[in-house]
A and B are shown apart, each in its own frame.
Chain A
Amino acid sequence: MSAARPPSTLSAARAVLYKELTLERRAPQTLTAMALFCASAFVIFHFALGRDAIEGALASGVLWVTLTLAALLGIGRSFVADREEGGLDGFLLAPAPRSALLIAKATTLFIFLLIVGLLAALLFSVLLLGPTPSASQWASIALLIVLADLGIALVGTLIAGIAIQTRARDLITSILALPLLIPLLIAVTKASEPLLSVGAGTLTGRWLALLGLYDLIFGLLAYALFDYLVED
């Protein structure tokens, strides 16, 4: 009777991703807020630190603290549109695999974080960064942003899935996300430190390995546990 066949994980995920990106294009709130937050944070750091130019560990810390806090904004918004008119129920009613939602949401967050991360890194190099990174250093920074944003997107989606059903959504998001992201931040700040210093600093393998390990472990965890968060 019905001319319908349940969609594959990939096609369902693509449908959700397309919907997410359309929504953000129509009402670009999340990306704008994240980018503005980064810019304001850099200005605040300029005055709070009393420095015109920073480098090394300090620069790495300022950049990544800013990006992490901006990521919290994105994580907090992740499921908001789905709450408003029951969009989450709409997904759950469909015969689509639940993991499609995780994949689509994490990809959306990943894309947002990449855009904001690259914009913020450029802005940071103009506003605050003392030394000028070489082309290969820029490539390394971009690689770090990709690896770190992947981890933040996976953990962030898991946390957003937990927080959406709680009363104090914003509070839960922040207090859960920050400690969970500490290992990732240790790795990425240590790895970017030489890249933001004077001289030809390069990437260290062990930090990349740690970032990769973090992404892998929390990716698998999110995949294994996400069903329990959306099913009822």
Chain B
Amino acid sequence: MPTTKNLYGRRLTGYAIATAIVLTASIALAFFYAPIEVDQGFSQKIFYIHVPLAIVTLGGFIFGGIFGIQYLRSGDTRHDLRSYTAIHQGLIFCIGALITGSIWAKAAWGQWWVWDEPTLVSFLIVFLLYCTYQPLRFSIEDPERQARYAAVFAVVAGVFVPVNFIAVRLASPLIHPRVLGSSGGSLPNDMRIAFYSALLGITLLFITICKYEMASKHSRAQMAALRRSLSEESDEPAAIRTAAPRIAIK
């Protein structure tokens, strides 16, 4: 029986409110509080949206891998749904990070794409790999097998991310002064506050969207179960090909 305890949307409202407040505040901080950076001028403001998007993307992929391991160990489909959602949303954030990164490259160096910016190049490669997640899931019909193979993919890809970063970094000549150090450690204090609040805001946004996605998938599954129990004829739904995890309603 579904209980209110197991709902995916638990605390969703709280996250949504927190996201709205923190994200608005962080953008305000980025524009009105953080000073104009000396070397890059105003275009450095892109930093406050691009880098948090990038970091949260990686976080999403890594959590996708962790939930993948948990799925493989437990066989609990809730972990599969979490892994799927984290990777799916990570991919969307990754698109955001790539586009904002490209715009920043244009603003800072006059070109839409620079091959000697290793972080950006690594992101492109990681993006290409994770793009295959959906096609992979879609091409496996049996839901149990789909979940298992997707989990294997999530783990392999999660490990691939750091290896890829090392390889691309080693291959880059590193000629650009890196004000954009992703750690934020070398930033002046006022920039750092703006950066960290933006990071927090984007993280909250990611969690909110993931929870929303899972709650939405769950409610669809509940609706389907309700429909089945109301229309006594057959409790066997037609086989549907889909990349999304299927949620069993007991």
A residues neighboring B (CB under 8 Å): 158, 162, 165-168, 171-172, 175-176, 178-180, 182-184, 186-187, 190, 206-207, 210, 213-214, 217-218, 221, 225, 228-229, 232
Contacts and interface: CB of A to CB of B under 8 A. Distances in A.
Contacts of B129: 176, 179-180
A162 B133 CA distance: 12
- Chain A interface main SS type: helix
Given A165-B145, A190-B171, A228-B151, A214 B163 contact: yes
A152 B34 CA distance: 48
A178 B164 CA distance: 13
Contacts of B148: 228-229
B163 A229 contact: no
Contact of A182 (B125, B139, B159): B125
A172 B167 contact: no
B196 to A, nearest CB: 31
B155 interface: yes
B149 A162 contact: yes
Contacts of A165: 140, 145, 149
Contact of A175 (B72, B132, B167): B132
A53 B170 CA distance: 29
A179 B128 contact: yes
A186 B152 contact: no
Contacts of A183: 160, 163-164, 166-168
A214 B125 CA distance: 16
A229 B152 contact: yes
A158 B160 CA distance: 13
What's the dominant secondary structure at chain B's contact region? helix
Contacts of A176: 129, 132, 136, 153
Contacts of A217: 159, 163
Report the contact-size class of chain B (Cβ under 8 Å from the partner).
Answer: 20 to 34
A40 to B, nearest CB: 26
Contacts of B167: 182-184, 186-187, 210, 214
A179 B166 contact: no
Contacts of A210: 166-167, 170
Nearest to B153: A162
Interface in B126-168: 128-129, 131-132, 135-136, 139-141, 145, 148-149, 151-153, 155-156, 159-160, 163-164, 166-168
Contacts of B128: 178-179
The 3 closest A-B pairs by CB, nearest first: A183-B167, A179-B129, A166-B139
B132 A172 contact: yes
Nearest to A174: B132
Given A206-B170, A217-B163, A232-B145, A162 B135 contact: no
Contact of A225 (B136, B156, B160): B156
Contacts of B136: 162, 166, 172, 176
A60 to B, nearest CB: 13
Contacts of A190: 171
Nearest to A168: B139
B160 A180 contact: yes
B163 A225 contact: no
Contacts of B135: 168, 171-172, 175
Interface string B161-191: 0011011101100000000000000000000
Nearest to B163: A183
Interface string B94-133: 0000000000000000000000000000000100110110
Nearest to A204: B170
